[in-house]
Amino acid sequence: MLEEAYRIRRNFGERLVIADLLSCFAATLAFAGRAETAARLLSSSEALQDELGTTPPWVADRNKETLTSVRTELDEAIFAGAWEGGKTLAADAAVALALASLD
């Protein structure tokens, strides 16, 4: 369902909603035990929010929880690599990565 919501919102150019959805994907991946992929998506979401110049409070809260979760699961080098890689990860690529990680 989130994948379809992403596609619809992307088609309407709703970039802030896309950042929120990437954050949702990241939180879900963290719960699923895919911390490295979650870190990449979280970084992608935060980079988009930085570009837009805003972060809704509920997204900031979710991102903080997700960040805490992935930081406890990953060593510093793996986290740093995932975070840096996520900063330049386009939304479509981030969604594709998230879906591939669930196979």
Q: What is the pLDDT of residue 68?
A: 97
Residue 102's pLDDT band, with cuts at 50, 70 and 90, is: confident
The closest alpha carbon to 43, from 93, 4, 100, belongs to: 93
Tokens matching residue 31: 């719960």
Q: What is the pLDDT of residue 3?
A: 81
Write the burial class of residue 54 (CB in 10 Å: 0-12 exposed, 13-18 middle, 19+ buried): exposed
Given a contact cutoff of 8 angstroms between Cβ atoms, the answer to whether 85 and 40 are in contact is yes
Q: What is the pTM of this model?
A: 0.92
Given a contact cutoff of 8 angstroms between Cβ atoms, the answer to whether 45 and 5 are in contact is no
Q: What is the pLDDT of residue 1?
A: 75
35-86: pLDDT as tens digits: 999 999 999 999 999 999 999 999 999 999 999 999 999 999 999 999 999 9
Q: What is the pLDDT of residue 61?
A: 97
